[in-house]
Amino acid sequence: MDTSIKKTQLFNASCVALVVTALAFATRGSFVEGIWAGEFNLTNTQVGWIVGTAFWGFTLAMVFGGPLVDIIGLGRIIAIAFICHVIGIVMTILATGFWTLFISTLFVGIANGSVEAACNPLITSMYTDEKTRRLNRFHAWFPTGIVIGGLVVYLFSNIGLTNWRWAMGIMLIPTLIYGYMFLNKKFPETERVTSGFSYKDMLRACISPLFLFMAFCMILTAATELGTNQWIAALLANVSDNPILLLVWISGIMALARQFGGTFVHNTKSTVILLFSAILAFVGLLMMGYTTGAVLVFTSAGIFALGIAFFWPTMLGFVSENIPQSGALGLAIMGGIGFLGGAIAQPALGAIFDAQTAAAIPAGQVLDVLKTAAAGTQEAATWAQAQITGGAHTLRYVAIVPAALIIFFAFLHFRKTK
């Protein structure tokens, strides 16, 4: 590789860029979305449209950014990410209603997707002999960013700083930092280009049976990780006094596993990692669904966190190592379809949660009356218990997804070892 390409500097800048995408995920999902409904007189449906826009913007950027990486270069995709992050964050801070929030969230989603579209192939191009290990270390900064965002939200809540614009403004700091770190840096050509694979080879690889199988599994792994993490605070709100700390706990374990599990990942077959990850995720979800008490719930959540920790980067690493012809487009499709899986999981989990909570209400009680009951009343206690039961049952249903992945990854492992 060209010695003028500063691999370490580019890798570090990529990590800071990924922190910004995580802050957007943590800050919005755990803090400001609940406030927007009241401040801007929005319905929950409108807030749902705003939230979903981030997922669709991410997918849009991945699908279009992936093919463009080889054409316009990695550096220009990074520039698009930086510009869209700045526009999206500033527009959110200055938002006045539904449409400004909708458009600003779309910009943030496009920025987040552009970071993934550029940084994944950048890292696999620079570290061709340790792709999965480096991708895991890179993606450690997503849960790290969620930890940072979650702790900021927790701090703001405890000191009475309720103006959500300060939380959004903090995102500008790492945004400006990664923009400066990437400034005037020379980027390598993608691995597909240096390996001599044609554009037609890349397209053909992206419709191969193995790639399509992995893309389908990516929907399920992402739904398990992103779907559950986005809802975990709501599902277990009545189990812990500080449910946001549960998300911080899960994300912290994920970050440590990805950051320091490099040797294990590098020396273990990807199919084995994926199989055991699915088993741990399944066990963790079931335990959260059947256990009570904060200590047992946090223990179960820790097992779940170890399960989902290696899903996303190992899926990308497997595709890059076993289907190298798919190039940047293959990584973009995998990332885009992963976030699509997360988007699909949001309303599905919400619907299951609503249904299971309603089913847990004692006969003769009226749901709307319980929901609006004053704190300290018997009706409020009944509603809290119904939510606990509904959340636990929802987690049991979600466990079906990693259960299916156990079967799929076992099949993949034995097929690859023949």
Strand, coil or helix: 259: helix
> Could you tell me if residue 367 is inside a domain?
no
Which of 172, 170, 178 is CA-nearest to residue 152?
A: 170
What residue type is assigned to position 172 of the chain? L
Q: What is the pLDDT of residue 176?
A: 96
Q: Tell me the pLDDT tens digit for each residue of 105-117.
A: 899 999 999 998 8
Cβ proximity of 1 and 129 under 8 Å: no
290: pLDDT strictly greater than 90: no
Stretch 317-338: mean pLDDT? 87
Taking the C-alpha atoms of residue 333 and residue 66, their distance in angstroms, rounded to an integer, is 7
169: pLDDT strictly greater than 60: yes
387: pLDDT strictly greater than 90: no
Q: What is the pLDDT of residue 151?
A: 81
pTM for the whole structure: 0.81
Domain with 17, as residue range(s), is: 7-362+386-416
> Could you tell me if residue 95 is inside a domain?
yes
Q: Tell me the pLDDT tens digit for each residue of 245-260.
A: 787 888 899 999 998 8
Q: Long-range contacts made by residues 358-365, C-beta under 8 angstroms, separation at least 24?
A: 358/386, 358/390, 359/390, 359/393, 360/385, 360/386, 360/387, 360/389, 360/390, 360/393, 361/386
Cβ proximity of 337 and 219 under 8 Å: yes
Say what angle helices 327-359 and 311-322 make with each other, to 10 degrees.
150
Q: What is the pLDDT of residue 108?
A: 92
Instruction: Give me the number of domains the chain comprises.
Output: 1
Strand, coil or helix: 247: helix
Q: Tell me the pLDDT tens digit for each residue of 27-42.
A: 765 555 557 767 888 7
Taking the C-alpha atoms of residue 86 and residue 79, their distance in angstroms, rounded to an integer, is 11
Q: Worst-scoring range by mean pLDDT, 25-39, 165-179, 277-291?
A: 25-39
Taking the C-alpha atoms of residue 124 and residue 331, their distance in angstroms, rounded to an integer, is 10
Q: What is the pLDDT of residue 30?
A: 52
Taking the C-alpha atoms of residue 283 and residue 287, their distance in angstroms, rounded to an integer, is 6
Taking the C-alpha atoms of residue 258 and residue 25, their distance in angstroms, rounded to an integer, is 19
> Could you tell me if residue 200 is inside a domain?
yes
pLDDT band at residue 234 under the 50/70/90 scheme: low
Mean pLDDT of all residues belonging to the chain: 85
pLDDT band at residue 162 under the 50/70/90 scheme: low
The CATH number of whichever domain residue 412 belongs to comes to 1.20.1250.20
Q: Helices marked H in 291-399 — which ranges? A: 294-309, 311-322, 327-359, 367-371, 378-398
Q: Tell me the pLDDT tens digit for each residue of 46-66.
A: 776 787 788 788 888 887 887
> Could you tell me if residue 370 is inside a domain?
no
